[in-house]
Amino acid sequence: MDVLESRIAEWRAYVGRSRTVADPDIDELETHLRDQMADLGAGGLSADEAFLVAVKRMGDIDGLSREFALEHSDRLWKQLVLPSKAESGRTSNGLVEALLFAVAAAVTIQIALRGDGWSGDPSPWFMRNVSLFVLPFLAWYFAQQRGLPLRQSLLTATPFVLGALVMNLYPFDPESSTEMLAALHLPVALWFAVGYTYVGGEWRSHERRMDFVRFSGEWFIYYVLIALGGGVLMGLTLAVLEPVRAGLGESVIEWVIPSGAAGAVIVAAWLVGAKQSVVENMAPVLTMVFTPLFALMLTGSALTYAVSGLGSEFDREQLAVFDVLLIVVLGLVLYGLSARESTQRAGFMDVVQLVAVAAALVLDMMVLTSMLARVGDLGFTPNRVAALGLNLVLLVNLIAAAWLSLRLLTGRATFHRLARWQTRYLPVFALWAAGVVVVLPPLFAFGS
Amino acid sequence: MSSRIHIDKDLVAASATPLVLAILDEGESYGYAILKRVRELSGGELEWTDGMLYPLLHRLHRLGYVTTDWRIPPEGRRRKYYAITEEGQAALAEQKRQWAAVTRALNDAWTRFDLVPATGEV
């Protein structure tokens, strides 16, 4: 049955290759195919034969996509944000809902800021809780979009409630590093809670988890794009309003930026769903461009460090830098995985990716060794625990990824195993982030 | 008589719209069922490529002759149901008139010139 499913999936992919047949149409054709197969099967054909006959009766794909092109000529060149007219009969693709949730998030942020008596810099309280003002709306939006049953929706609320309790009941020392770390890790932990709603509660499924990885990458791209556009808009606003009255531009911006940043979280999420095809074209291109560049940069740095012997004098800030570097490499790897076709054979890009990962690992080993020595001398601080822990979490992931892609390149493992490893590992990130929020502060008496 | 007649492509295309509208006039339906009904009605003589039905249905939707609705019936898989609208029924009535005129004219011609025995089969 599995073979049959993958053949149907291949057929789907083949039909979808032509831009003129949109996803809902392919769904419709697939239902037809399955109905036909069921009837043929009842007539005594084997599943394989039924599949062949049903595909044959469906007609040749080129002719079919030509017919679709005639009827939906707009699809040939129109890749706009707005839904095509033909589908607008289905009331909406979630734009209205998305905007409602975006506005709700924007308003919540404003209430929090004003209630906090904002004067210039946001307070530590606001910074601790900022993700709790936005991400619940995103989770809610997906829960509503996916039609999540009430019980599961309530389950989703748990991490948010827990996060709110921890952030507001823990007696953090003012400006302590435990507070800062908790504030940094809470959004990450909550992002996985959003992921639970994004996959419609099917968090055990490998495919759904991969969808979520893909979603996260594309969401990030859209968010950056919106932020860039927003930056231009704000710059112009400043320039236009400044002559009217000094400071007018700034005060407008103070209102707009927090709300815009909050609303954009949801709008970007909507864009990912609504305009999948646009970014699907972008994802492979971006990974193609940046993976080799990162591979070069990392190899160069590893060599320089090894030759010049700088590798023994790292301090905490550099460990943080390397954590970020590993995150970026991991992001590239994950994004590359999610954009890659699983049936494709191992090729040049896999080699480049392996080089990038290996170089990052060598670099990181050097930092880690010096860092461990330092901890041995000076003892643990919350920052060191968080940085080291994150480093280990990433290291384990990347070592296994490197090992598996080596096996993939030598033809001894399938791509599926590599992808599977990454999706299995996802909960580790969630647990680590949650641990830094919940467990780390009491360990250090909410101080440092 | 029993040998399958090959019906010209253009004729199949021309008859497709009234046929689908007539089937939907019986009650709402979905693609695969519509196609089965076409086969049934024509005794298997109208050979459609299955896939081609869908662009046609989409055109009818665009013209406002049918409404669509994705639904999951209690038994079975998620399907897109098509139901005829008043406009669709008007279009169907118009098509019927045109086809009646065409068949009448053809029948007249066949009988007058006696090209085929007037068995009523066109």
Q: What is the rounded average pLDDT of the residues A152-170?
A: 89
Q: Which of A5, A18, A28, A88 to mutate to test the interface with B (most CBs of B within 10 A)?
A: A28
**Mean pLDDT across chain A, nearest whole number?**
81
- Give residue-wise pLDDT tens across range A258-292: 899 999 999 999 888 776 656 556 766 777 888 88
The answer, for B55 touching chain A at a CB cutoff of 8 Å, is: yes
**A88 to chain B, minimum CA–CA distance in Å?**
10
Show the tokens assigned to A430. Answer: 């969630």
B87: containing domain: 9-113
Q: A75: distance to nearest CA of chain B, Å?
A: 13
pLDDT average, residue stretch A296-300: 90
At A60, is the pLDDT very low, low, confident or very high (cuts 50, 70, 90)? confident
Q: How far is CA A423 from CA A278, A280, A351, A417, B30, in A?
A: 24, 20, 21, 10, 38
Q: Do B50 and A58 touch (CB under 8 A)?
A: yes
Q: 């995150």: which residue's tokens?
A: A327
Domain for residue B1, yes or no?
no
Does any domain span residue B102? yes
pTM strictly above 0.80: no
CATH of the domain at B31: 1.10.10.10
Given a cut of 70, whether residue A231 has pLDDT beyond it is yes
CB contact under 8 A, B78 and A89: no
Strand B29-30: give its sheet, edge to edge.
B29-30, B79-84, B66-71
DSSP A413: S
Whether B95 is in a domain gets the answer: yes
Least confident span in A215-219, A225-229, A231-235: A215-219
Report whether pLDDT(A426) > 80.
yes
Q: Which range among A168-182, A307-321, A405-419 has the greatest average pLDDT?
A: A168-182
How far is A15 from chain B, CA to nearest CA, in Å? 11
User: Has residue B84 been placed in a domain?
Assistant: yes
What would the DSSP string read from start to end of A112-146?
A: HHHHTT-BSBPPHHHHHHHHHHHHHHHHHHHHHHT
In a domain, B122, yes or no: no
Size of interface A-B (CB pairs under 8 A): 67
Chain B, nearest residue to A69 by Cα: B55
Residue A441: burial class (beta carbons within 10 Å; 0-12, 13-18, 19+): buried
| Residue B25 maps to a domain | yes
Whether residue B74 lies inside any domain: the answer is: yes
> What residues does B83 pair with on adjacent strands?
B67
- Does the structure show a pLDDT above 80 at B6? no
Is B53 inside a domain boundary?
Answer: yes
Q: Is the pLDDT of residue A19 over 50?
A: yes
User: Which of B54, B68, B69 to probe by mutation at the A interface, max A CB count within 10 Å?
Assistant: B54
Average pLDDT over residues A44-49: 86
Tokens 């909050």, located at residue: A262
If one counts the domains in chain B, the total is: 1
DSSP string, A41-87: HHTT--HHHHHHHHHHHH--HHHHHHHHHHHTTHHHH---SSPPGGG
Q: How far is the CA of A294 from the CAs of A188, A314, A354, A407, in angstroms?
A: 24, 21, 11, 22
pLDDT at residue A105 tops 60: yes
Residue, of B34 and B119, whose pLDDT is higher = B34
> Which residues from A are below 8 Å from B when comparing CB atoms?
24-25, 27-29, 31-32, 34-36, 57-59, 63-64, 67-68, 70-72, 85-86, 89-90
What are B40-90's pLDDT values in tens digits? 888 878 777 888 888 889 888 878 888 888 887 776 678 888 999 888 899
Q: What is the average pLDDT across B2-27? A: 83
CB contact under 8 A, B78 and A35: no
Nearest CA-CA partner of B36 in B5, B27, B46: B46
Residues in B touching A24 (Cβ below 8 Å): 70, 80
In this complex, do A25 and B54 lie within 8 Å of one another by their Cβ atoms? yes
